Protein backbone atom coordinates (compact mmCIF):
# COMPACT_ATOMS: atom_id res chain seq x y z
CA UNK A 1 0.00 0.00 0.00
CA UNK A 2 1.41 3.36 -1.03
CA UNK A 3 1.52 5.93 1.73
CA UNK A 4 0.18 9.35 0.83
CA UNK A 5 0.46 12.90 2.11
CA UNK A 6 -2.57 13.80 4.22
CA UNK A 7 -3.47 17.44 3.52
CA UNK A 8 -5.74 17.56 6.59
CA UNK A 9 -3.05 16.35 9.00
CA UNK A 10 -1.62 18.66 11.65
CA UNK A 11 1.96 17.92 10.53
CA UNK A 12 3.66 19.71 7.65
CA UNK A 13 3.79 17.97 4.28
CA UNK A 14 7.60 17.84 4.37
CA UNK A 15 7.52 16.06 7.74
CA UNK A 16 4.99 13.55 6.40
CA UNK A 17 7.12 12.91 3.31
CA UNK A 18 10.27 12.51 5.40
CA UNK A 19 8.47 9.90 7.53
CA UNK A 20 7.23 8.03 4.44
CA UNK A 21 10.73 7.89 2.94
CA UNK A 22 12.26 6.93 6.30
CA UNK A 23 9.79 4.04 6.57
CA UNK A 24 10.76 2.88 3.08
CA UNK A 25 14.44 3.03 4.04
CA UNK A 26 13.95 1.14 7.31
CA UNK A 27 11.81 -1.57 5.69
CA UNK A 28 14.36 -2.06 2.91
CA UNK A 29 12.22 -0.77 0.06
CA UNK A 30 15.05 1.73 -0.44
CA UNK A 31 18.06 -0.50 0.24
CA UNK A 32 21.34 0.59 1.81
CA UNK A 33 23.52 2.26 -0.79
CA UNK A 34 20.67 2.72 -3.26
CA UNK A 35 19.87 6.01 -4.96
CA UNK A 36 16.60 7.66 -4.01
CA UNK A 37 14.25 8.82 -6.77
CA UNK A 38 15.00 12.37 -7.89
CA UNK A 39 13.22 15.45 -6.56
CA UNK A 40 10.97 15.73 -9.61
CA UNK A 41 9.84 12.11 -9.35
CA UNK A 42 9.16 12.38 -5.60
CA UNK A 43 7.34 15.66 -6.17
CA UNK A 44 5.08 14.11 -8.81
CA UNK A 45 4.57 10.84 -6.92
CA UNK A 46 3.43 12.53 -3.71
CA UNK A 47 1.78 15.62 -5.19
CA UNK A 48 4.01 18.12 -3.41
CA UNK A 49 6.31 20.91 -4.53
CA UNK A 50 10.05 20.62 -5.00
CA UNK A 51 10.69 22.75 -1.89
CA UNK A 52 8.72 20.23 0.17
CA UNK A 53 10.85 17.40 -1.22
CA UNK A 54 14.06 19.32 -0.47
CA UNK A 55 13.00 19.98 3.13
CA UNK A 56 12.15 16.30 3.54
CA UNK A 57 15.57 15.29 2.25
CA UNK A 58 17.17 17.82 4.62
CA UNK A 59 15.43 16.09 7.53
CA UNK A 60 16.62 12.67 6.37
CA UNK A 61 20.20 13.98 6.04
CA UNK A 62 20.02 15.42 9.57
CA UNK A 63 18.84 12.02 10.84
CA UNK A 64 21.83 10.36 9.16
CA UNK A 65 19.68 8.25 6.83
CA UNK A 66 20.86 9.63 3.49
CA UNK A 67 23.81 11.42 1.94
CA UNK A 68 23.58 13.69 -1.06
CA UNK A 69 26.29 13.85 -3.70
CA UNK A 70 26.18 16.95 -5.85
CA UNK A 71 25.10 16.21 -9.43
CA UNK A 72 24.53 12.52 -8.57
CA UNK A 73 21.59 12.45 -6.17
CA UNK A 74 20.71 11.25 -2.69
CA UNK A 75 21.68 7.80 -1.46
CA UNK A 76 20.67 5.67 1.51
CA UNK A 77 23.59 5.31 3.93
CA UNK A 78 25.21 1.89 4.25
CA UNK A 79 24.76 1.70 8.03
CA UNK A 80 21.43 3.03 9.32
CA UNK A 81 21.40 4.82 12.66
CA UNK A 82 19.16 3.48 15.40
CA UNK A 83 15.54 4.62 15.45
CA UNK A 84 15.09 7.73 17.61
CA UNK A 85 12.23 6.95 19.95
CA UNK A 86 12.05 10.55 21.16
CA UNK A 87 13.11 9.73 24.73
CA UNK A 88 16.68 10.95 24.34
CA UNK A 89 19.73 9.31 25.85
CA UNK A 90 20.80 10.07 29.37
> Could you tell me what percent of the chain has a pLDDT over 70?
91
pLDDT tens digits, residue range 64-73? 999 999 999 9
The DSSP string of 3-14 is ----TTSSS-HH
User: Mean pLDDT, 10 residues at a time, over the chain (90 residues)?
Assistant: 88 97 96 96 97 98 96 94 62
Ordered DSSP codes for 43-77: HHHHT--HHHHHHHHHHHHHTTSEEEETTTEEEE-
Please give the pLDDT value at position 84. Answer: 66
The alpha carbon torsion through 9, 11, 15, 19 (nearest 10 deg) reads -60
Task: Kindly report, residue by residue over 40-53, the tens digit of the pLDDT.
Answer: 999 999 999 999 99
Helix (H) or strand (E) holding 22: helix 13-26
Amino acid sequence: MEEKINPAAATYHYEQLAKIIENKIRTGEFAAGSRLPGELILSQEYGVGSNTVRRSLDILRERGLIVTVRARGSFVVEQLPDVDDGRGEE
